Amino acid sequence: MVLVGSLDVAVSGDEVEFTFEVRNDGDDPVEVTFPNACTVDVAVFEDDAEVWRWSEGRMFAQMIQQETFNLGDGMTETRVWESAPAGDYEAVATLEARGQDLEAGATFSV
């Protein structure tokens, strides 16, 4: 089981777009289970303090979802932070599947 993740960050004025790609680089299929409709989350940190989280204040449908990634298969999810204040940040995107410890990070400035 080899899921890999990458995070791209695009800044346009005070809007920040995070694109998290998850891909199966292994030889065997990987089945993942999501406990609700939140498949990916993004948190932003400034000096190790969390300043924004995409899922904060949102509600998600409580439904179990299963996804199978064959060799080379994956998913791409985009999240947007609007009205981001100027500063230097680190973003961490996580796959919100049970039993998976997959995250990717990137630094950026607004």
Burial of residue 69, with CB atoms counted within 10 A of its CB: 0-12 exposed, 13-18 middle, 19 or more buried:
buried
CA angle, 65 as apex, 43 and 103 as ends, to 5°?
30
Q: Would you give per-residue pLDDT tens digits along the chain (110 residues)?
A: 589 999 999 999 999 999 999 999 999 999 999 999 999 999 999 999 999 999 999 999 999 999 999 998 999 999 999 999 999 999 999 999 998 889 999 999 99
User: Tell me, what's the pLDDT at 52?
Assistant: 98
Q: Are strands 30-34 and 15-24 parallel, antiparallel or unpaired?
A: unpaired
Q: Are 18 and 78 in contact (CB under 8 A)?
A: yes
Provide the pLDDT for residue 18.
Answer: 98
Domains of the chain: 3-109 (2.60.40.2360)
